[in-house]
Amino acid sequence: MVEKLIIFVVLNILINCSLILLQEKDNKAKEEQSIQKTKEEIDAWQKYATPSKEHELIAKVVGKWDAEVKMWSNIIREHL
C-alpha cells in the first residue's frame, strides 16, 4: 500500500512538473512573438518617419515667405 502511494506521489510530481515546464515554454514563445512584433512596429514607424522624395521637393521652397492675409471672424455679418 505504501509503495502504491509513493508511486502515485512521484507520478503526480512528474506530471505537475511537466505541465509547469510546458506552460513556461508556451509563455516564453508568446513573449518572443511579442518582442518580434514590437521590433516590426518600431521598424515600420521609423520607415514612416524617414524623409522621402516628397521632402526633397518641398526643400526647394524652404525659406522665409512674406504674405498678406485677410481674415473675417464672421463672413456673413461682414458682407451684409
Total domains, the chain = 1
At 7-17, the pLDDT tens digits run 888 888 888 88
At 22-65, the pLDDT tens digits run 888 888 888 877 777 788 888 888 898 898 888 888 888 899 99
Measure the CA–CA gap between 67 and 71, rounded to whole angstroms: 13
For the chain, how many helices (H) and strands (E)? 3, 0
Q: Which domain holds residue 53?
A: 2-79
Q: What share of the chain is helix, strand, coil (3-state, %, to 5)?
A: 75, 0, 25
Assessment of whether the complete model's pTM goes beyond 0.75: no
37 contacts 43 by C-beta, under 8 angstroms: no
